[in-house]
Chains A and B, each alone.
Chain A
Amino acid sequence: NAGVTQTPKFQVLKTGQSMTLQCAQDMNHEYMSWYRQDPGMGLRLIHYSVGAGITDQGEVPNGYNVSRSTTEDFPLRLLSAAPSQTSVYFCASSGAGTGHSGANVLTFGAGSRLTVL
């Protein structure tokens, strides 16, 4: 059981380039989300999805696009990378809570470290 898989683990981009961070989970989780973590700080929510075909904005959505065409995959797209997007990106997923509606425990991927020059 792989859990949450993120690719690539490392990426260097030049300002203005585009790229997609991939996230896949094999736990049949309904909920998936993307966070960024800057040095010495907590995680900030970028976008999230409560199911296939449904996405919504988090705390810091500007500069990022997402889509959810399948339950398993939730890619994060940077259309025109900026140095301010240099960060570590984490994908996380969760299913419905067991024994209590709405109790969602997040399973995280290992992270993708992005540097924008």
Chain B
Amino acid sequence: SQQGEEDPQALSIQEGENATMNCSYKTSINNLQWYRQNSGRGLVHLILIRSNEREKHSGRLRVTLDTSKKSSSLLITASRAADTASYFCATAGTGGFKTIFGAGTRLFVKA
């Protein structure tokens, strides 16, 4: 089974609203990353948070990590229609290798 599981599986919001996605994982990690995938395309890296960090920001993205609960959340503020995509969390083990992905959250932002 996969390391990371996202919640919710799908999310539909209005433009301008915030979108929050959650990720849980099972074992110790070196880092946790979030990726975005537009339909039919390869994945694009969004943000990485290391196991000794609790929160990280990048533009409209905010990521939190709770290693005691083995969970992370991705917040996208002021969503735009162009944010419509699938979002995946991924965890890397010792050495930062062997990156395992979750099943993803499909985000639909209505204009």
Tell me whether A and B are bound partners: yes
User: In the complex, which of the residues A44, A50, A109, A110 contacts B97, with contact meaning CB atoms closer than 8 Å?
Assistant: A50
A92 contact set on B, CB distance < 8 A: 43, 99
User: In the complex, which of the residues A41, A50, A56, A59 contacts B100, with contact meaning CB atoms closer than 8 Å?
Assistant: A59
A117 on interface, CB distance cutoff 8 Å: no
Rounded to whole angstroms, the CA-CA distance of A33 and B99 in the bound complex is: 9
User: In the complex, which of the residues B42, B98, B104 contacts A42, with contact meaning CB atoms closer than 8 Å?
Assistant: B104
B26 on interface, CB distance cutoff 8 Å: no
Given contacts A31-B97, A108-B44, contact A100 B50 (CB under 8 A): yes
Tell me whether B50 and A48 are in contact (CB under 8 A).
no
B31 on interface, CB distance cutoff 8 Å: yes
A56, A97, A105, A110, most chain B CB atoms within 10 A? A105
A35 contact set on B, CB distance < 8 A: 101
Tell me whether A109 and B42 are in contact (CB under 8 A).
yes
B30 contact set on A, CB distance < 8 A: 102-103
| Shortest Cβ gap from B94 to chain A (Å) | 8
User: In the complex, which of the residues A31, A33, A110 contacts B41, with contact meaning CB atoms closer than 8 Å?
Assistant: A110
Rounded to whole angstroms, the CA-CA distance of A78 and B95 in the bound complex is: 29
Rounded to whole angstroms, the CA-CA distance of A48 and B43 in the bound complex is: 17
Rounded to whole angstroms, the CA-CA distance of A101 and B102 in the bound complex is: 23
Convert A86-117 into 0s and 1s, putting 1 for each residue whose CB lies closer than 8 angstroms to a CB of B.
Answer: 00001010101100111111111111000000
B40 contact set on A, CB distance < 8 A: 111
Tell me whether A42 and B88 are in contact (CB under 8 A).
yes
Rounded to whole angstroms, the CA-CA distance of A101 and B97 in the bound complex is: 11
Rounded to whole angstroms, the CA-CA distance of A20 and B40 in the bound complex is: 21
| Shortest Cβ gap from A91 to chain B (Å) | 9
B92 on interface, CB distance cutoff 8 Å: yes
Kindly report which residue of chain A lies nearest to residue B99, judged by CB atoms.
Answer: A106
A43, A48, A103, most chain B CB atoms within 10 A? A43
Rounded to whole angstroms, the CA-CA distance of A103 and B52 in the bound complex is: 12
* Chain A residues within CB distance 8 Å of chain B: 31, 33, 35, 41-45, 48, 50, 56, 58-59, 90, 92, 94, 96-97, 100-111
Please list the 4 inter-chain residue pairs (A to B) with the smallest Cβ-Cβ separation, ordered nearest first.
Answer: A102-B96, A108-B42, A104-B96, A42-B103
